[in-house]
Amino acid sequence: MPVYDYHSDDQSARERMVRYQLEARGIHHPRVLDAMRSVPRHLFVPAERAGDAYSDHALPIGEGQTISQPYMVALMTQLLDPAPSDRVLEVGTGSGYQAAILAELADEVVTVERDPVLSERAQEVLDALGYRNITFVVGDGTEGYLPLGPYDRIIVTAGAPFIPQPLIEQLTPGGKLVIPVGHRYEQVLTVAEKDAEGHLHLSEHGYCVFVPLIGRHGWRSELDGEPEPDDLP
Ligand code: SAM
């Protein structure tokens, strides 16, 4: 596990974040709370926003994208519930913060980002922090990433019009997928569990707002109102 050069102010900011934003709202998974306590979120936001890194909201990270609110990261990770031996696929690397949380909890993380600038920036931060169990892929994550699949857990950190079929196919039996599904400006946090026979069981966990998942099995562009009809399941 990486060793950080902790700044005591940041450590206490993380403690406050865990207590007042996460535990107070029902995040109870001990390993998730430990990961949220230890990953230095201020290193994943632009330097001029570092003072705001532990606040209770999403922040811009450049290229028109965002790092999700700490509570949303914790809630999705708690729902995902990765085991120490799991291989996890993340779609939407963004800042790399969620990938770091996953890398604390699972054996291997594969993270896919469509924007090469964001992917490279995230890789620099995560390499500097000493993470060695993360593979970075630039491409359309709605296609999953077949060469390293299947995955025990899949998490999508952008809003999808529906669950991309390749992600369902690349999920192991017994696996779990967490994804915001719905409209362009509001989604429902959805968990899909694949049973031993390959059947999916869906559950819903409240509303959320994510930037759009853009790709072959997602929204067609930043601006399009609807996915292409032939993409709909
Ligand atoms: N997980 C990120 C973090 O910890 O900072 C936040 C992700 S941000 C809310 C959503 C990201 O999904 C953006 O960086 C965006 O470029 C990316 N994205 C959108 N569509 C994608 C696709 N088809 N494949 C891969 N990444 C995609």
- DSSP string of 200-211, one letter each residue: EEEEEEEEE---
Residue-number span of the structural domain to which 89 is assigned:
8-208
- 149 inside domain: yes
Q: Is ligand 1 within 6 A of the CB of residue 157?
A: yes
Number of domains in the chain: 1
- 145 inside domain: yes
CATH number at residue 170: 3.40.50.150
CA 121 to CA 81: how far, in whole Å?
27
- Asked if the peptide bond before residue 40 counts as cis, ω within 30 degrees of 0, the response is no
- 224 inside domain: no
- Asked if the peptide bond before residue 84 counts as cis, ω within 30 degrees of 0, the response is no
Do residues 91 and 118 make contact, with C-beta atoms less than 8 angstroms apart?
Answer: no
Residues with Cβ < 8 Å from 34, sequence gap 6 or more?
104
- 70 inside domain: yes
Q: What is the pLDDT of residue 226?
A: 56
Active site annotation includes 221: no
Q: What is the pLDDT of residue 112?
A: 98
- Reduced to 3 states (helix: H, G, I; strand: E, B; else coil), residue 26 is coil
CA 220 to CA 81: how far, in whole Å?
30
Distance 160 CA to ligand 1 centre (A): 11
Out of 12, 38, 55, 68, the active site residue is: 68
Give the residue among 188, 141, 124, 128 at the shortest CA–CA distance from 162: 188
Q: What is the pLDDT of residue 10?
A: 85
- 186 inside domain: yes
Distance 8 CA to ligand 1 centre (A): 30
Q: List average pLDDT for each run of 10 residues in the chain, which is 233 residues long.
A: 56 95 98 97 95 95 93 98 98 98 98 98 98 98 98 98 98 98 96 97 97 96 58 48
- 172 inside domain: yes
- 220 inside domain: no
Distance 94 CA to ligand 1 centre (A): 5
